[in-house]
Amino acid sequence: MSSIANKRILKELKEFSENHSSSDSLLSLVSSQDELDNIIININIKDNELYDSNRPFTLSYKINKNYPFTPPQIIFIGNNIPIHPHIYSNGHICLNILYDNWTPVQTISSVVLSLQSMLINNKVLEKPPDDDNYCKHGPSDPLQAKWVFHDDTV
């Protein structure tokens, strides 16, 4: 990781830790600051009855050497991938701020809060219409996918 990326991540992790103390049951940082290239974050969704508030979703936030000028690879991981019209069964997330609309202004906190908001506001437990095909034939890295952003309502 470049020194710019390293410095930026340390700053973001400090901000995240300050804004989301250990008493905050909605967001928690799982990784230590020694693991700067792959940060693991748990997200609880307490304000939507579609999701079990006692079972957090785990997010992987992988930093590349050009961060923050290029987006990190952000996916849900583990056995508890959220069911949502914009989240594939393999954990890939169809959200324009993670790809085409990424800007260096975004931080770990802003991205995680956007994802949390997306889940809190979900009204249906549905997978994306092309979930099976994408999971079988799509790239393993969501940054290599050719996303089409056409639905801002979910």
Q: Active-site residue numbers? A: 94
Task: Tell me the pLDDT tens digit for each residue of 95-116.
Answer: 999 999 999 999 999 999 999 9
Work out the pLDDT band at 69, boundaries 50, 70, 90. very high
Q: How far apart are CA 109 and CA 134, in angstroms?
A: 28
Domains of the chain: 3-144 (3.10.110.10)
For residue 4, pLDDT beyond 60: yes
Task: Tell me the pLDDT tens digit for each residue of 107-152.
Answer: 999 999 999 999 999 999 999 999 999 999 999 999 999 888 766 6
The residues with which 75 forms a beta bridge, in sequence order, are 60, 92
**pTM for this predicted structure:** 0.88
